[in-house]
Structure 1
Amino acid sequence: MSLTAVRAGAYLHHVAFESADPRALAEFYADAMDMTVEQVGPEEWRCSGPARRFVAKKGEGRKLGYAGLACRDAEGLAELRARAEAEGLVILASPSPYFEDDAFAVQSPDGHVICFGLAKPETAQAGLKGPTQHLTFATFDVEAFQDFFHGKLGFALSDRVVHKDGKLATCFVRSNHEHHTLACFKSNRQGVDHHSYEAGDWNVIRDWCDRFAARRIPLMWGPGRHGPGNNLFIFIEDPDGNWIEVSAELEVVHDRPVKDWPQEPRTLNLWGKAIMRS
Structure 2
Amino acid sequence: MSASPSLNRTLLSHVALTTPDVEGMAAFYNRHMGLQQVVDLGSPHHAFLGYGQGHHALELIEGPVGLHHIAFEVGDEGGHEALADRQRARGINVRELGDEAGTLEVADPDGNLVRLHGPISRSGEHTADPGRRPLRIQHATFSTHNMEPMVEFYVGLGFRVSDRMGEVFTWLRSTVDHHSIAIVKGPTSSGLDHYSWDLAEWEDFKSWSDRLTDNGVQIQWGPGRHGPGGNLFLFFDDPDGNHIELSAEMERFFDDRADYQPRVWEPGATTVNLWGGQVPSWRAV
The residue aligned with 1:89 is 92
| In 2: Cα distance, 1:20 partner to 1:14 partner | 19
Q: Deviations over 1:51-110 (max 9, x none)?
A: 76111111111x111111112256232331121111111001348x8xx52321100111
Q: Does 1:131 align with 2:136?
A: yes
Give 1:149 shift.
0.3
| In 2: Cα distance, 1:91 partner to 1:195 partner | 24
Decide which of 268, 278, 281 is 1:264's aligned counterpart: 268
- 8 Å CA contact 1:93–1:105 kept in 2: the answer is yes
| In 2: Cα distance, 1:52 partner to 1:267 partner | 33
- 8 Å CA contact 2:7–2:76 kept in 1: the answer is no
Q: Deviations over 1:15-34 (max 9, x none)?
A: 11001112111111111111
TM-score, length of structure 2 as denominator length: 0.87
- 8 Å CA contact 1:105–1:116 kept in 2: the answer is yes
- 8 Å CA contact 1:156–1:175 kept in 2: the answer is yes
The residue aligned with 1:165 is none
Aligned alpha-carbon RMSD (Å): 2.1
| In 2: Cα distance, 1:110 partner to 1:27 partner | 31
| In 1: Cα distance, 2:10 partner to 2:97 partner | 15
Residue type of the alignment partner of 1:277:
A
Q: Which residues of 2 match residues 125-164 of structure 1 at below 5 A?
A: 126-128=128-130, 129-150=134-155, 152-162=156-166
Which is strand-richer, 1 or 2?
A: 1
Pairs aligned (count): 267
Specify the SS of the correspondent of 1:228.
coil
TM-score, length of structure 1 as denominator length: 0.89
The residue aligned with 1:57 is 61
Give 1:158 shift.
0.4
Decide which of 271, 277, 284 is 1:277's aligned counterpart: 284
**1:177–1:123 CA distance, 2 compared to 1 (3 A):** closer
- 8 Å CA contact 1:237–1:244 kept in 2: the answer is yes
Q: Deviations over 1:212-241 (max 9, x none)?
A: 123121211001110100100000100000
- 8 Å CA contact 1:49–1:127 kept in 2: the answer is no
The residue aligned with 2:48 is 46
Give the percent of matched residue pairs that are identical in Structure 1 and Structure 2.
30
